A and B are shown apart, each in its own frame.
Chain A
Amino acid sequence: MTGTPAPVGPTRRRALTTALASGAAVLGAGTLSGCGSAQAADASTVRLWDLFSGADGGLLNDMVRAARPDMPGTRVERTVLEWGTPYYTKLAMASAGGRGPDLAIAHMSRLAGYAPTGLIDPWDLDQLAAYGVGRDDFTDAVWTPTQYRGRTYAIPLDTHPFIVFYHPDIAADAGLLTADGTLDAAAFSSPDRFLAAGRELAKASGEQGIAFGYVTDTAQGWRLFYGLYRQTGGAFRLPDGGPAEVDVDRMTEVIAFMAKIVDGRTNPGHLDYSSAIAAFANRRTGMILSGEWELGTFRTADEKVGAAPFPTVFGTPAVYADSHSFVLPHHPDPDPVRRRRAHRAVAALLKAGQIWATAGHIPAYGPVTRTAAYRRLQPQAHYAVAQDHVVLDPAVWFAGAGSDFQNAMSQVLQQALLDGLAPDRAARAMVRRLNTFLAKPSPA
């Protein structure tokens, strides 16, 4: 390319013309309107979006395989997106555009931001009933949050509570097991007893007692806090526009208790999520406060690992939990055949829930948990009762799994737990952040 016009060989000119022509041909063929999209793809495909990567992701693949006989002629095609905020952002944008997937997984705690905004469509319960799934197959605690204005916007797949895992031998040495080998809930039934149990566990493990990973985590602090706070019976009402109606004294009490758990002596003080897992898996602690979804990880380290619902420390039974559910991303005028296929696929997947239970999740579909096979699953069966006292995030549009709200709350809590912010000031800081969220106009 010397900038000289004259001595350009014919080959180069031809090459350029060919390139231009083929470019134009491609342009013409592409029709620009996105017919190349998977929209018009294989007619038997159900496109499912989810956020399961790792152990859960593998199990969902197994489930899809196991469900195949129940949905003849239907192929589930998964797209796994990054967990948390990126997932929900993409799901909202795709639904707003009206070209979202046929089916998507969503946390129940996110429903308040999805159903009223028109980003998801309601389920047709008659169609589901035709495939053998009905309202009565779910407990009230799980079903109630699926409702908005008398319609069902989510079909629950599981409940996944925040629980405790322990090494049975260490817990036995610490005298914290009952005669039948389960965790002695009474030993954890007040803040003082809980901390004393931690000391016993530390003695028995030879190192430290209870692990809790929260540093730089976007949810852990909030999970522990909200479950404990609801145990105090304190109010947590979030009216539109604010201000939040909460009990600052109870919040202070809970934060002070949390700070004592991560004291750095009896229990490890500043663990992030993965180092807490490592600490427990390597038996440097006797117990960990964690979501049940880590069961697979812990069982690899200790195949006898024990589990129990989160103990009632403040009087009222309450276990922080969330629930994975199936939702129908909004389509302006959905193809009834595709919709029917989505219903059928969900019914088939729910029935394969036993596989999902092996990950640690409590299947929401009753016929699965009522089987003898499920009751034989250990330690899952030990914490299945957590289902009766689950508390989900407050039903406001800005809360829920992977939300900015959980992140903001967890950051304040981290300051109290890690940087020594006084519990009462932390509680007031949380209320201020809450009010900021409430002051934002709801998108619905």
Chain B
Amino acid sequence: MSSPQAAPRSAAPTARRLFAPGLLFALPFLVLFALFLLWPLAQGLWMSLTDTSLSAHAPGFVGLDNFTEALRDADMWRSLGNTAWFTVLSTVPLVLVALGLALLVHTGLPGQWVWRLAFFAPYLLPVGVVSLLWIWLYQPDLGLANHLLDTLGLGQLAWLGDESVAMWAVVLTTLWWTVGFNFLLCLAALQSVPDQLYEAAALDGAGAWRRLWSVTLPQLSRITVVITVLQVLASLKVFDQVYLLTKGGPNGSTRPVVEYVYDVGFTGYRLGYASAISYIFFALVLIASAAQYAALRRREK
């Protein structure tokens, strides 16, 4: 770890150590880190204790008022609930579908690049494109989704306009858009399974299904856990596609907590209160991370 050259240098005068070359190398990052991560993090905490607003008026200290208000704010709880619900609804298919597709593609069928392109290309689309495309697909009178339902003889849906459907529509879009990422991670994991394991299994007379069950899937268990963890954290942070598809509607039924922060802070001018909710959200993410870390540790023991 340590550079052998560093030892004698540590004996040098303090001034030289202060400007140790190592520190100089780290400095650009540390400056950006302090300016655009630590400072905003601290400023956000401070703002959450004030009534800072978007307008010119001078902010005043309000103690924990913002937090007590937030805990009694039904809209905030609803948005937290929406975020949690979205996380559940999206994580399950995003992991399982990715796994399934990767297993199928890994069978080595011809046209590898076509499959990879088909499943991964949506991930490369900017969210603006994804939302424009899906708003058009979900358009009630002209969109493909309802035409297909018609063709299949099923009833039409108000995809983004019906409170009981909108969240599912958002999840479907999310699945289409981002599953390619998890798919690639699964595929990479599959490719790194040592051939010897399969050879040994084949020698033992295990058939294709048996090999899948007792070689491939166990080998994939770690990456599956990792992908699930990453996916949960990503889903908790959802904003873009929900905001662009439904603006959180209809009637707030899809509004995630990050959008609530945006609405309160920028639409409602209340930056201080929005900071408080940001921190509540942050706490939620930390709790989720800690829980997953604990679960991971237990599993690895």
Contacts and interface: CB of A to CB of B under 8 A. Distances in A.
- Asked whether any CB of A lies within 8 Å of a CB of B in the complex, the reply is yes
Interface of A: 85-86, 88-89, 92-93, 96, 113, 116-119, 216, 272, 397-398, 404, 411, 440-441, 443-444
Contacts of B269: 92, 113, 117, 397, 443
Contacts of A443: 53-55, 57, 268-270
A118 B56 CA distance: 6
A325 B129 CA distance: 33
By size class, the interface of chain B is 10 to 19
B250 interface: yes
B161 interface: yes
Of listed A96, A216, A443, residue having the most chain B CB within 10 A: A443
30 contacts: A85-B247, A86-B247, A88-B267, A89-B266, A89-B267, A92-B54, A92-B269, A93-B54, A96-B54, A113-B269, A116-B55, A117-B53, A117-B54, A117-B55, A117-B269, A118-B55, A118-B57, A119-B54, A119-B55, A216-B249, A216-B250, A397-B269, A398-B268, A404-B263, A440-B270, A441-B51, A443-B53, A443-B54, A443-B270, A444-B57
Given A86-B247, A89-B267, A117-B54, 11 more contacts: A85-B247, A92-B267, A117-B56, A117-B269, A119-B54, A216-B161, A216-B250, A216-B251, A443-B53, A443-B269, A444-B57
For chain B, what secondary structure do more than half of its interface residues adopt (helix, strand, loop), or is it mixed?
loop
Contacts of B55: 96, 116-119, 443-444
Interface in B245-301: 247, 249-251, 263, 266-270
Given A216-B161, A216-B250, A441-B51, A117 B267 contact: no
Contacts of A444: 55, 57
A444 B53 CA distance: 8
Contacts of B249: 216
A398 B266 CA distance: 13
Nearest to B74: A436
Contacts of A398: 268
Contacts of A113: 269
Nearest to B57: A444
A404 B268 contact: yes
A382 to B, nearest CB: 33
A96 B267 CA distance: 12
Contacts of B251: 216, 411
Interface string B48-77: 000101111100000000000000000000
B266 A93 contact: yes
A412 B270 CA distance: 24
B71 to A, nearest CB: 15
Nearest to B251: A411
Contacts of A96: 54-55
Contacts of B57: 117-118, 443-444
B156 to A, nearest CB: 13
